[in-house]
Chains A and B, each alone.
Chain A
Amino acid sequence: MTINSLIAQGMISSLLVYLLTKLNKKLGAFLTVLFSGYLLFVIFGFQNSAGEVFSLIHFGEFELTFMTSHYAWYFAIVLTLTYFLVSFFNPYWMKKMVNPAAYNMLFMVSMVGTVGVFYAKDFLTLFIFYEIVVWSSLFIIPMGKSRKTPVIYYTISSIGSFAMLYAIFYLYHSVGSFDIQAVSEAMSQAPNTYRFVFFTMIVAGLTKLGIFPFHTWLPAAHGSAPHTFSPVLSGGLVKVGGFIALITATVIPSFKILAGDLQLMGVPFENYLIMLLGAVSIVVGTLMAIKQEDAKKLIAYSTVSNSGYIIIGLMLNDQVGFAGGMMHVFNHAMASGAMFLSFAAIAYRTGTTKMSELGGLIKRMPLTFAAYLIAIISLAGIPPMSGFASKWLIFQGLASNGMMFIALAAFFGSIGSFLYVFRPLSAAFLGQLSPKHKDVKEVPWMMQIPLIIMSFLTIFYGIFPGRILAYISKIQESVGLKGVEIEGTKIIAATGMWDSLVITLVFGGGFMLAAILFFISPKAKPVDQMNTYTSGEFIYDPDHYHYAKNYYATFENNYGNKKRVELFFDAVALRVKEFGEMVKTMFFAKSVSFSIFWIMLFFTLVYFWGDKV
């Protein structure tokens, strides 16, 4: 199987899925599961392939080609895995979807598109598939809760993608080739061109990752997309931005080309600027996530924050931090995918994702709870889940370079993540079970599969992060960096090491000790959750007795409630519209005399400067 035929198959089968879904809703949805599994399987076979070239089609005078590489495989496998796991939810949502056939088709198209992005040999192919991913995901979002957010998504996304397009053609104009390899070689002679291209091209990555100040679309779109697509958006498609950043800064080796530039804390100032943006988005994402009432919005803001970690890691371009950033791509895909999926499961059963309307669901949906718990432990970067490995590497990378302001943001985001990940746990799963949800059941077995697999992967790679890091070190070597050092389960950085297996064993031992202590003590008597200390007062209504609204009100008071970036973008949009209205009144007025005036003005101006001809 080759990449080009895989993509052709994907495009054709997306049409097939559309027709099948028209015939039978469930059948089409099952086909998406089947095909995404097949795609995952085939992509998996490319694990060790690098440098194989496949040609897709001639596009006018250009040729679209694919090339396998280690970094492409890594991203592709993360994405297809996310798509595959999420697709298990599809069959159950067909009844609730407004346009299931289109949903399934676009789901497939965007999945195939991501593979195309990662395996692109040249920038044109990359851009084509990037845009395919954008518009195919774009049309899924309005099937959810909002008709405005896809427009915001498209606006910010197109700012990024068109900036990239501009950079691509600027490169083509100056280098004469779209080929990434050729460009990367040519750039080493032309740091000035590269500096411009770096900033214009990375905007695409930043917008897709949701880095400040382009983060506004992300919570809006992820929070209001259909429940089954939010995990793909957050766990998967955001990583496409990471890939663009990787291409811009690492595959085209910024650390070599810009070595002559001003170096800030060990990296070129260009990279440092992007890292600062990442740091700001960590802080903004964290602060905003803390105060969301809707669980999906909360997870979406946490994505903003975690994208900051990814971009910081990637921009470090060193042995340790880069590996951390790359590994965070996987960790965040699994963690945020699982978080979104568990809330999709809740929404499937209860019909809401508002935390204040939920509560106590652990008794009804224990498996969903377990998946969510494991995901948040990983997202908060607590051992022994896989999230700790990547955060540890990023911290070490920052520490060895002494980037204290970025470290400040990273630490703040890391501790702040305890706050926001805990809130849905507390408000939706723990606490009092609302009488409304007394008869809620665990989700069907097919929806449990992805939750179980994601949890398993999170734990497995938490205990053996070396498995992923070994592959990442291959990637690092292929782009000219020093590979991250691993010894068995020990992960070694210049500034220290840790052993994931030992931590797990010690934690397990501690837990066993505590359990022994627990079980030799007198047995506890189970009581109802309403039987709690209430100063002797009698409580009858679990809904009123559930602490879920304004959870961190006291903390939020410290930083207020102004969405300044959103307001700024709104203001810009308003100005554009006002300008349009002005054009309408000035050039398309009711009276003809206006246009006579303009025509006269045109002639006057031309004749003023006419003598210069």
Chain B
Amino acid sequence: MAMNNDFNEINLNDGDLNDTITFWDKLKNVFRGNSLWMLHYCTGCGAVELPPTMTSRFDMERIGMGPMATPRQADVLLITGYLSVKTLRRVIYTYEQMMEPKYVVGFGSCTLNGGIYYDSYATINKLDYYLPVDLYIAGCMPRPEAVMNGFKKLMDMIKKGEATGWKKYQRHYEDYYSPNQIRSLGEVYVKDEFHE
């Protein structure tokens, strides 16, 4: 298990990542900001907060969001809780299958610093090492209000062209994300469909 201090720190925010330059870019970002489709990766207890967010009580659809079944269709990857090493692999795979632009929202303290599992041998502590998180929603658990608020914030970021995690991932995959991922996951030996 890789410890936090094993990761090399580099400046991920180098260069200008903001893509709201031309009129067309702005227009595109308006569409993207108004229609966010979400893939929720329900690993932890955070998933229980999503049904009220989606359904009548808070009604996510009124701001143009909706749950999607596959990463190909989705814009936002919502990670709702701790990630074990084994699930991290799946999350990365899923993230890479999403269409750009794509955004990652870390949900709850587990994705920030490991939460109550911070000292577990099997979980990762900080999601940002492996995937470019655009927005964290803090709390354990965050209430649906907080979730809605977070999404609203994400939409504003998109419209301003600030949600550029996917560009970071592209630019720093070789020197940052990929080495971090490999360090945590180790090499995987494939035996058959169901055993690694």
Contact = CB atoms under 8 A, between A and B. Distances in A.
Interface of A: 531, 533, 536-541, 544
B93 interface: yes
B16 interface: no
B190 to A, nearest CB: 6
A540 B190 contact: yes
B97 A533 contact: yes
Contacts of A541: 192-193
Give chain B's interface residue range (CB within 8 Å of chain A): 10 to 19
- Secondary structure at the A interface, as helix, strand, loop or mixed, is loop
A468 to B, nearest CB: 45
A537 B90 contact: yes
10 contacts: A533-B71, A533-B97, A536-B91, A536-B93, A536-B94, A537-B90, A538-B89, A538-B190, A538-B196, A539-B193
Contacts of A544: 193
A540 B94 contact: no
A538 B191 CA distance: 11
Interface of B: 70-72, 87, 89-91, 93-94, 97, 190, 192-193, 196
A544 B192 CA distance: 11
B181 to A, nearest CB: 14
Nearest to B98: A533
A157 B135 CA distance: 75
Contact of A540 (B72, B87, B89, B193): B193
A540 B90 contact: no
A101 B29 CA distance: 72
Nearest to A531: B97
Nearest to A527: B97
The 9 tightest CB contacts between A and B, nearest first, are A536-B90, A533-B70, A536-B94, A536-B93, A541-B193, A533-B72, A540-B190, A533-B71, A533-B97
A533 B68 CA distance: 13
Nearest to A532: B97
B93 A538 contact: yes
Nearest to B70: A533
B139 to A, nearest CB: 25
B172 to A, nearest CB: 20
A244 to B, nearest CB: 55
B48 to A, nearest CB: 20
A484 B192 CA distance: 63
Contacts of B94: 536
Contacts of B71: 533
Contact of B192 (A533, A536, A540): A540
B135 to A, nearest CB: 22
Contacts of A539: 193
A267 B196 CA distance: 70
A536 B89 CA distance: 8
Contacts of A533: 70-72, 97
